[in-house]
């Protein structure tokens, strides 16, 4: 299961929550395993998961009739389904239906609960959650907010479920760690594929194409591919353009796709030919900073404390004027999960968190340098999810 | 410009709107050309465009400090920028900055307006829009809705801007049509690339990989790749799996990526070896149905009228029991724009609309068949954006 059920239940108990309702695609997939295509590629389509506290009933998915095929074809951990809307699918009565098709037939046969909001109302009613304190993830509610003006609104005491889900998702299950490890390794291999063609005259767009092709070949999907060369590498969110590589150029990768819905976000630096002394010394400081942060990661330590130590290390080791707003963040089904490694963060590191630790440096007119590693926190410290070193790569 | 300014101004005048505020990524990019990475790949990051009615002041972008590099590097049609948040970028004072870097320096030098909401408030104040009737696109507002509880809320009369933008976007500008034509051609070429490897024993996953690799090579990004074979082709949203092609199988493509943010959505059917008589006759009826719909498309015709005619045609030409909830939809920066070719639609076809006309047929135990073409409405009828025929493809 992707869902950390133990943590969900503990937090529901601690906050006196009777049920949570997932509405954003990340939380729907996280809570149930159900990946409802339309809500991932558009804004508007509705899918919900209602997950009651222990003893308050069984979890339910509220699904559009037009997406029940995916429910039948995927590994979904929630078996109670409420359907809304109509969708026409014929059935060949003479054919022997396979398992997924039989399950589809069953799902299409469910009563149509009208709108998404009406179906949700009915589920809440059925579960006796009227008057309950419910964490509603507003992240996926429709633009007009109309769907959540339930047709027959049970009076619920709604609290901010988007943040509640972020808290639960902060500590990963083994299945999530496995996906994140794979996502990281795809990103690393894709950097190698791009660097394999790096030479004078090759454009950022060509590097990015090789990067994304390799991501696809390895089972990933392109999402983040900030790949900048020369002075353009200083652009924090640089999008690959026609600029061509020249001798001495920095190549900055701040990249990561999705693997089975889970994100990667890593950074590596290469230089075409001999790096300048400034590149070498600055990159060294940034690399040591990340290593310092990773060494410090263990259950119980304050995120803000890590921030201070990392910035201090980078300053001492080569960039005296180094400034940052954060030096890392959690990662999971969303690219920015908790915790947040920033000076104002109140987060405490816990076993099972997966983090990106990073020390980007952007200087217009010079270039950008960055090391970013993905790691998982174990009881005795951080285990890296990386296979490559964050050291400066020299392409000769 | 992507934005249909003439239509926006006409609709603002007709509805007595003093300004529109774009908040969802689609509408921000549509209104300004600004593609703010984070809001496209995550839920939460805020970017707004305020576009006043003629005579009410200049349009403004409200942008996060962390994304100003993209504003400097992209072709953006709005030059007034309000910035919120802090972001550290150094400047090499001895370097000669290129144009994009100079623009970045200028943007980083803007005052920090605090939060996105505070920056928006300030812009509305400055434009004298307090008390105004404003179409607020709620599509990109944050989960907690907190950002739109403006720090110093000018009292505005807010109306549903998400729907308002859909109305404006329904009629495409020449630049949008160009991008949609290219997106369609990439999808067609990607189907060819997949069919080039179609043979007994080849899996859906392999077909999808070839499809997506070609999309990338041609400058597109993978989004929709429902590729199903055999009985699995009946799943409306089929996601490519390990099932291997067999002689006589249907291969259904319902596919389309993004090209410069604009979507494709087309469908084609191939059969491996000799198609059964049922496949041939059903597919013929569906194909004739789409052709009928395209022939009827011209300015002034009712969308619901086209729906009736298309369904009637399919029934008469080979599938007497044919039922559908819609036979097409607009397409643009979102995969489902207006108009909606459904029986309850009140939409009227206008010159410049770009539509997908489609007749899917799903039968569990048998398979799925579908023809879907993209077309643009001209003053005298529809011009196709397709280069290939929707006829049944036989792979021998």
User: Could you tell me the pLDDT band of residue B148, with boundaries at 50, 70 and 90?
Assistant: very low
Residue B147 has pLDDT above 50, yes or no: no
Chain B interface includes A323 (CB < 8 A): yes
Size of interface A-B (CB pairs under 8 A): 197
**Which residues does residue A361 pair with via DSSP β-bridges, in sequence order?**
A369
Cβ–Cβ < 8 Å for B345, B322: no
Chain A interface includes B67 (CB < 8 A): yes
Cβ–Cβ < 8 Å for A146, A120: no
- Identify whether residues A251 and A279 lie together within a single domain: yes
Query: Which CATH number fits the domain that encloses residue A187?
Result: 3.90.230.10
Residue B394 has pLDDT above 90, yes or no: yes
Domain's final residue, options A169, A195, A213: A169
Chain B interface includes A24 (CB < 8 A): yes
> Sign of torsion, CA A128 A131 A133 A139?
positive
Query: Which CATH number fits the domain that encloses residue B16?
Result: 3.40.350.10
Chain A interface includes B146 (CB < 8 A): no
- Identify whether residues A211 and A109 lie together within a single domain: no
Q: Which backbone phi and psi does A317 adopt, to 5 degrees?
A: -95, 5
Chain B interface includes A192 (CB < 8 A): no
What is the distance between the alpha carbons of residues B260 and A258, in angstroms, rounded to a whole number? 20
**Which residues does residue A258 pair with via DSSP β-bridges, in sequence order?**
A221, A263
Tell me the chain B residues in contact with residue A95 when contact means C-beta distances shorter than 8 Å: 231, 364-366
- Identify whether residues B185 and B84 lie together within a single domain: no
| B139 against B363, higher pLDDT | B363
Per this entry, what is the length of chain B? 396
Helix (H, G, I), strand (E, B) or coil at B370: coil
Find the helix or strand (DSSP H, E) in which A373 lies.
Answer: strand A372-378
Cβ–Cβ < 8 Å for B338, B350: no
pLDDT digits (tens, 9 = 90+) for B49-65: 999 999 999 999 999 99
Neighbours of B291 (CB within 10 A): 18
Q: Which residue of A has its CA nearest to B142?
A: A139
- Identify whether residues B201 and B315 lie together within a single domain: yes
pLDDT digits (tens, 9 = 90+) for B84-108: 999 999 999 999 999 999 999 999 9
Query: Which residue from A201, A287, A286, A289 is spatially nearest to A249, judged by alpha carbons?
Result: A201
- Identify whether residues A187 and A303 lie together within a single domain: yes
Chain B (110-139) residues lying within 8 Å, Cβ to Cβ, of chain A: 137-139
Segments forming the whole domain that contains residue B237: 174-395
Helix (H, G, I), strand (E, B) or coil at A263: strand
Neighbours of A157 (CB within 10 A): 12
Neighbours of A159 (CB within 10 A): 15
The closest CB to that of B366, out of A95, A138, A209, belongs to A95
Cβ–Cβ < 8 Å for A339, A349: yes
Domain's final residue, options B145, B169, B193: B169
Q: Which backbone phi and psi does B126 adopt, to 5 degrees?
A: -60, -35
Q: Report the pLDDT value the prediction gives residue A143, as an integer from 0 to 100.
A: 52
- Identify whether residues B178 and B119 lie together within a single domain: no
Token pair 């397709």 is found at B386
Q: Report the pLDDT value the prediction gives residue B154, as an integer from 0 to 100.
A: 55
Q: Which residue of B has its CA nearest to A138?
A: B143
Alpha-carbon separation of residue B127 from B6, B19, B80, B130, B159 (angstroms): 21, 10, 12, 8, 18
Q: Which backbone phi and psi does A51 adopt, to 5 degrees?
A: -125, 105
Q: Which backbone phi and psi does B206 adopt, to 5 degrees?
A: -70, -40
Q: Report the pLDDT value the prediction gives residue B140, as an integer from 0 to 100.
A: 83
Domain count of chain B? Answer: 2
Q: Is B111 exposed, middle or buried (0-12, 13-18, 19+ CB in 10 A)?
A: exposed
What is the distance between the alpha carbons of residues A216 and B214, in angstroms, rounded to a whole number? 11
Percentage of residues in chain B having pLDDT higher than 70 = 96
pLDDT digits (tens, 9 = 90+) for B207-265: 999 999 999 999 999 999 999 999 999 999 999 999 999 999 999 999 999 999 999 99
Neighbours of B302 (CB within 10 A): 16
Domain's final residue, options B123, B148, B169: B169
Helix (H, G, I), strand (E, B) or coil at B179: helix
pLDDT digits (tens, 9 = 90+) for B251-303: 999 999 999 999 999 999 999 999 999 999 999 999 999 999 999 999 999 99
pLDDT in tens, chain A (396 residues): 999 999 999 999 999 999 999 999 999 999 999 999 999 998 889 999 999 999 999 999 999 999 999 999 999 999 999 999 999 999 999 999 999 999 999 999 999 989 898 899 899 999 999 888 999 888 887 654 433 444 444 567 777 888 899 999 999 999 999 999 999 999 999 999 999 999 999 999 999 999 999 999 999 999 999 999 999 999 999 999 999 999 999 999 999 999 999 999 999 999 999 999 999 999 999 999 999 999 999 999 999 999 999 999 999 999 999 999 999 999 999 999 999 999 999 999 999 999 999 999 999 999 999 999 999 999 999 999 999 999 999 998
Mutation target among B66, B102, B143, B261 for the A interface, most CBs of A within 10 A:
B143
Ranges assigned E (strand) in chain A: 19-22, 48-52, 60-64, 80-84, 90-91, 133-136, 157-160, 221-229, 250-259, 262-263, 266-272, 328-330, 337-340, 354-358, 361-364, 367-369, 372-378, 381-384, 393-395
Q: In this structure, what token pair is assigned to residue B62? A: 């409200």
Q: What is the DSSP letter of A125?
A: H
Alpha-carbon separation of residue B33 from A213, B2, B119, B120 (angstroms): 27, 7, 20, 19
A312 Cβ contact list (under 8 Å, min separation 6): none
- Identify whether residues A179 and A157 lie together within a single domain: no
What is the distance between the alpha carbons of residues A159 and A151, in angstroms, rounded to a whole number? 20
What is the distance between the alpha carbons of residues B61 and B51, in angstroms, rounded to a whole number? 9
User: Could you tell me the pLDDT band of residue B150, with boundaries at 50, 70 and 90?
Assistant: very low
Helix (H, G, I), strand (E, B) or coil at B361: strand
Alpha-carbon separation of residue A330 from A170, A338, A349, B206, B229 (angstroms): 7, 5, 10, 33, 39
- Identify whether residues B35 and B119 lie together within a single domain: yes
- Identify whether residues A145 and A246 lie together within a single domain: no
- Identify whether residues B190 and B165 lie together within a single domain: no
- Identify whether residues B12 and B130 lie together within a single domain: yes
- Identify whether residues B282 and B218 lie together within a single domain: yes
Q: What is the DSSP letter of B240?
A: P
Q: Is the ipTM of this complex over 0.90?
A: yes
Torsion, CA A130, CA A133, CA A138, CA A142, rounded to 10: 10
What is the distance between the alpha carbons of residues A69 and A107, in angstroms, rounded to a whole number? 9
Query: Which residue from A13, A127, A344, A146 is spatially nearest to A5, judged by alpha carbons?
Result: A13
What is the distance between the alpha carbons of residues A368 and A238, in angstroms, rounded to a whole number? 10
Query: Which residue from A257, A252, A200 is spatially nearest to A227, judged by alpha carbons?
Result: A252
């Amino acid at each position: 299961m992707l869902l950390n059920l133990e943590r969900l239940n503990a937090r529901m108990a601690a906050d006196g929550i009777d049920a949570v309702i997932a509405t954003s695609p990340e939380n729907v997939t996280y809570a149930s395993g159900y990946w409802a295509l339309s809500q991932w590629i558009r804004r508007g389509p509705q899918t919900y998961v209602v997950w009651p506290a222990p003893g308050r009933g069984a979890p339910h998915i509220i699904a559009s009739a037009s997406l029940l095929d995916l429910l039948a074809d995927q590994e979904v951990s929630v078996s109670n389904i409420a359907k809304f809307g109509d969708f026409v699918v014929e059935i060949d009565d003479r054919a022997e239906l396979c398992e997924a098709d039989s399950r589809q037939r069953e799902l299409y046969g469910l009563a149509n609960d009208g709108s998404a909001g009406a179906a949700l109302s009915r589920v809440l009613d059925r579960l006796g959650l009227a008057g309950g304190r419910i964490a509603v993830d507003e992240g996926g509610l429709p633009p007009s907010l109309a769907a959540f003006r339930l047709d027959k609104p049970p009076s619920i005491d709604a609290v901010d479920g988007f943040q509640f889900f972020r808290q639960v998702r902060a500590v990963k299950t083994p299945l999530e760690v496995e996906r994140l490890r794979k996502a990281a390794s795809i990103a690393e291999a894709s950097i190698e594929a791009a660097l394999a063609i790096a030479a004078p005259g090759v454009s950022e767009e060509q590097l990015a194409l090789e990067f994304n092709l390799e991501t696809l070949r390895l089972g990933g999907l392109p999402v983040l591919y900030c790949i900048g060369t020369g002075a353009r590498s200083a652009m924090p969110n640089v999008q690959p353009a026609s600029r061509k590589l020249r001798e001495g150029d920095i190549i900055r990768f701040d990249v990561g796709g999705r693997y089975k819905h889970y994100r990667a976000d890593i950074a590596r630096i290469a230089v075409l030919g001999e790096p300048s002394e400034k590149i070498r010394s600055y990159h060294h400081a940034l690399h040591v900073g990340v290593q310092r942060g990773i060494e410090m990661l263990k259950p119980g330590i304050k995120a803000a404390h890590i921030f201070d130590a990392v910035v201090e290390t980078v300053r001492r080791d080569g960039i005296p004027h180094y400034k940052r707003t954060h030096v890392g963040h959690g990662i999971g089904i969303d690219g920015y999960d908790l915790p947040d490694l920033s000076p104002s963060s109140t987060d405490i590191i816990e076993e099972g968190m997966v983090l990106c630790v990073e020390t980007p440096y952007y200087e217009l007119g010079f270039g950008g340098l960055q090391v970013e590693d993905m790691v998982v926190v174990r009881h005795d410290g951080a285990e890296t999810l990386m296979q490559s070193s964050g050291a400066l790569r020299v392409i000769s």
